[in-house]
Amino acid sequence: MKGKLKSAAKKSTGVKLPKPPKRYREFTERYPALAQAWELMNQAGAEGPLDARTRRLIRIGVAMGAMREGAVRSGVRKASAEGLAVEEIEQVIALAAGTIGLPSAVACWSWVASALERD
């Protein structure tokens, strides 16, 4: 089932996403049922009227609001692989700034820059 989930995720965007970090791969190999549950949640979240580009930007924004550095970096790497413009991602930071505050927005800015290898 694991292979089917991955191929379904790839089909949803039609883009080969970057390889997950080593620790993530090790964790999912150790706990395959958790990996499958995670993939199912992601698939369920994709159901609805929002297109893949909008869903990716929303997920990045939610990760920023929750101050989840790893999720921000991962989302930005995936967004870049999917062809989203840097300016689109940067606008998410600007939109989040009023809610999360300037220090948190600067932290998100640094995570995005690092994920895009711009710093």
The pLDDT of residue 61 is above 70: yes
Give pLDDT, residue 88. Answer: 97
82-105 tens-digit pLDDT: 999 999 999 999 999 999 999 999
Q: How far apart are CA 65 and CA 82, in angstroms?
A: 22
Given the candidates 3.10.450.50, 3.30.450.40, 1.20.1290.10, 3.50.50.60, the CATH classification of the domain at 51-119 is 1.20.1290.10
The pLDDT of residue 7 is above 50: no
Token duo for residue 42? 């992601």
What is the widest separation between alpha-carbon atoms in the chain?
Answer: 43
CATH 1.20.1290.10 residue ranges of the chain are: 51-119
54-92 core/surface letters (b: 16 or more CB in 10 A; e: else): ebbbebbbebbeeeebebbbbbbbbbbeeebeeeebeeb
Residue 22 banded pLDDT, cuts 50, 70, 90? very high
Q: How far apart are CA 47 and CA 15, in angstroms?
A: 18
Q: How far apart are CA 109 and CA 40, in angstroms?
A: 30
Q: Please state the pTM of the whole predicted model.
A: 0.81
Query: Scanning the structure block, which residue is given the tokens 């999720």?
Result: 71
Q: How far apart are CA 7 and CA 4, in angstroms?
A: 5
Task: Tell me the pLDDT of the chain averaged across its residues.
Answer: 89
Residue 76 banded pLDDT, cuts 50, 70, 90? very high
Token duo for residue 39? 């993939």
Question: What's the rounded mean pLDDT across residues 22-42?
Answer: 96
Question: What's the rounded mean pLDDT across residues 20-49?
Answer: 95
The pLDDT of residue 50 is above 60: yes
The pLDDT of residue 118 is above 60: no
The pLDDT of residue 30 is above 70: yes
